[in-house]
Amino acid sequence: MTTRRFNRYPAYKDSGVEWLGEIPAHWEVYALRRKLFHEAGSIKIGPFGSALKLEFMTQEGFKVYGQEHVIARDFGRGSKYIDQAKFAELAACQIQPRDIVVTMMGSSGRCAVVPDDIERGIMDSHLLRIRLPDTELDPRFLALLIDEADYVRDQIGAAGKGAIMHGLNSSIIKSVLLAAPPTTEQVRILAFLDRETARIDALVAKKERLIEVLQEQRTALITRAVTKGLDPTVPLKDSGVEWLGEIPAHWEVMAAGRLIEGIEQGWSPVAEDRQADPDEWAVIKLSAVSKGAFREGEHKALPLGLAPDTRYEIREGDFLMTRANTPELVADVCVVRDSRRRLMLCDLVYRLHWRSSRASTEFVAYWFLSGIGRHQIEVDARGASQSMVKVSQGLIRAWAVMLPPIAEQRAITAFLDRQTTRIDALVAKVRDAIERLKELRTALISAAVTGKIDVRGEVA
């Protein structure tokens, strides 16, 4: 999508606020509290935690909404409810269509407009509700200002800083200064943004689907190579394993335990949620292992004064496997091609040592990344749970591995390295394009709701 140029407003004026600068001449500056001095307007914080303890939750009744609904822009998720009596007690915390709900802790200042099809319920103690009168300020316009306008975000950020966690309160929200046009113009700006963001979202969806197709092709390529080899004319034999089918006649199928010389489990000290300086020790996160890639930047710094356990330092050539995640992601693997020094294994990741005379670590990694390799993992994982699951060392040792001779393993690995690198480069290119589209979307919304561009002529 090419970037379009939009006209500026014909005339601007000094807003009277130094950090706000110029605004369109007919726009007005005011504190949000002005729009709440009306019997239909209000601001409300969710019930204190003691009023909404876990023991008050039920399997059905009236829904309880929290930060997760706002951040995901999805009010249909979740299954926390309260009964009729508790709902009556907390009726003042009910949310309804066109309310604006704002997150108050952690990722504070994120907001969403409650949709028309909302299931009846209340907000929890981590949300703040803004209910506007039906005059002068459209809820969707205000929500976009809070979410996308830098000058509003800056006010919230400066006022909401806490000693431990960033937090908001009703006084901070009421004091936010806004610049806004008449309501009729707000509606036209919203109509323009609905149209333009829908176009951008459609492009993003197409590119995300392209990534899915490329990743499916990558998995199919790996699966074909590690189950049939590179020679399509090679004689085949029955593997003796129903879900494996036929394999090259000179290949073997054996339990991983016959090839594993040792399995280590790391250490997870209480670490600092930041990246370590080059001379500091750190411990990897679960996300450091991602579909064959090792991401050394996914780590937490070891606190000063806490001695590292150097036995768990990650080295080039290490074979890593995650031991906990969802059934679809657990037992993800990678071989460390390169890593910074002073990086330790965490207790949610195993380090496996393979018999080098029989198994190439790179080949085995591709095996566990293949569709057929993942099949046995997910069958076992789903047998334990549908959410977060763990795989034991016993399970790993029992999983089947298909092996050609070592020289052929290395040839297959070299082929897959070349082909997957090409696909990964394409995926990275598409992801970059998606990020640019998302940046364009954000910039367009911000420019429209802050008066940097005049879009009144863009909609009928």
pLDDT reported for residue 217? 97
Q: Note the pLDDT of residue 126.
A: 86
Token pair 């707000």 is found at 186
Judge contact between 114 and 179, C-beta under 8 A: no
DSSP 332: -
CATH architecture of 1-9+185-236+404-460: Orthogonal Bundle (1.10)
Query: Are 158 and 17 contacting, i.e. CB atoms less than 8 angstroms apart?
Result: no
Token reading at 122: 């209340």
pLDDT value at position 175?
A: 83
Checking phi first, is residue 21 left (phi over 0); if not, alpha (psi -120 to 50) or beta? left
For residue 55, the model assigns a pLDDT of 63
CA-based nearest residue to 404, from 273, 234, 243, 248: 248
Amino acid 441: pLDDT:
95
CATH code 3.40.190.10 for 252-403: no
| Average pLDDT over every residue of 229-238 | 94
Reduced to 3 states (helix: H, G, I; strand: E, B; else coil), residue 81 is strand
- Residue 8: the pLDDT is 94
385 pLDDT higher than 70: no
Q: 237 pLDDT band (50/70/90 cuts)?
A: very high
What pLDDT, on the 0 to 100 scale, is given for residue 107? 67
Which one-letter DSSP state was computed for residue 135?
S
Residue 165: what pLDDT?
39
Q: Alpha-carbon torsion 131, 135, 137, 140, what sign?
A: positive
pLDDT digits (tens, 9 = 90+) for 43-101: 888 887 666 766 677 778 899 998 889 988 899 887 788 888 888 988 889 999 999 99
Using DSSP, state whether 291 is helix, strand or coil: coil
User: How many whole angstroms separate alpha carbon 21 and alpha carbon 13?
Assistant: 8
User: For strand 62-65 and strand 121-123, is the pairing parallel, antiparallel, or unpaired?
Assistant: parallel
Highest mean pLDDT: which range of 45-59, 120-134, 446-460: 446-460
CA distance 303 to 307: 9
Backbone conformation region of residue 61, classed left if phi is above 0, alpha if psi is from -120 to 50, else beta = left
- 255-274, pLDDT tens digit by residue? 999 999 999 999 888 888 89
Residue 425 region by backbone torsions, left for phi larger than 0, else alpha for psi between -120 and 50, else beta: alpha
Q: Pseudo-torsion of CA 130, 135, 141, 147, nearest 10°?
A: -20
State residue 45 phi and psi, 5-degree precision: -95, 150
pLDDT at 162 over 70: no
Terminal CA-CA length for the chain: 23
Residue type, 412: I
| Residue 30 pLDDT exceeds 90 | no
- Ranking 115-124, 138-147, 157-166, 296-305 by mean pLDDT, the lowest is 157-166
What pLDDT score was predicted for residue 298?
A: 94
127: left (phi over 0), alpha (psi -120 to 50) or beta: beta
Q: For residue range 355-379, list pLDDT tens digits in order.
A: 999 999 999 999 999 999 999 998 8
One DSSP character per residue, 400-447 reads: EEEE--HHHHHHHHHHHHHHHHHHHHHHHHHHHHHHHHHHHHHHHHHH
CB 52 within 8 A of CB 124: yes
- In angstroms, rounded to a whole number, what is the distance separating the alpha carbons of residues 205 and 42? 37
What would the DSSP string read from start to end of 255-269? Answer: EGGGTEEEEEE----
pLDDT-derived band at 253 (thresholds 50, 70, 90) equals very high
- Residues whose CB is less than 8 angstroms from the CB of residue 27 and which lie 6 or more positions away in sequence, other chains included: 179, 180, 181, 451
Q: Map tokens 């803004």 to a residue.
A: 130
Query: Which of 3-7, 141-145, 164-168, 232-236 has the weakest average pLDDT?
Result: 164-168
Higher pLDDT among residues 313 and 244, named by residue: 313
- Supply the pLDDT for residue 283: 94
pLDDT exceeds 90 at position 173: no
Q: Which residues pair with 451 in a beta bridge?
A: none
- The rounded distance, in Å, linking the Cα atoms of 158 and 111 is 17
* Predicted pLDDT of residue 163: 36
According to the model, what pLDDT value does residue 164 have? 37
Joined together, the tokens standing for residue 358 give 């029989």
The larger pLDDT score, comparing residue 4 to residue 83, is at 83
How many helices (H) and strands (E) in the chain? 11, 27
Tell me whether residue 107 is exposed, middle or buried, using C-beta atoms within 10 angstroms of its C-beta: 0 to 12, 13 to 18, 19 or more. exposed
If you count them, how many residues does the chain have?
Answer: 460
Asked whether the whole model's pTM tops 0.75, one would answer yes
pLDDT of residue 388: 79
Q: Which candidate, 261, 251, 257, places its Cα nearest to that of 402?
A: 251
Cβ–Cβ under 8 Å, residues 372 and 328: no
Confirm or reject CATH 3.90.220.20 for domain 28-180, answering yes or no: yes
Each domain of the chain, given as residue ranges in start order, spans 1-9+185-236+404-460, 28-180, 252-403
Give the per-residue pLDDT at 147.
87
Question: What is the pLDDT, as a whole number, of residue 386?
Answer: 60
**Res 450: pLDDT:** 94
Residue 36, pLDDT > 90, answer no
Q: Would you say the CATH fold of 252-403 matches that of 28-180? A: yes
Mean pLDDT of 307-322: 94
Tell me what the pLDDT averaged over the chain comes to: 89
Element (H, E) at 65: strand 62-65
Give pLDDT, residue 168. Answer: 65
Tokens 């763990």 appear where? 390
Q: Which of 63, 30, 232 lies closest to 142 in space, CA to CA?
A: 30
Residue percentage of the chain with pLDDT more than 90: 60
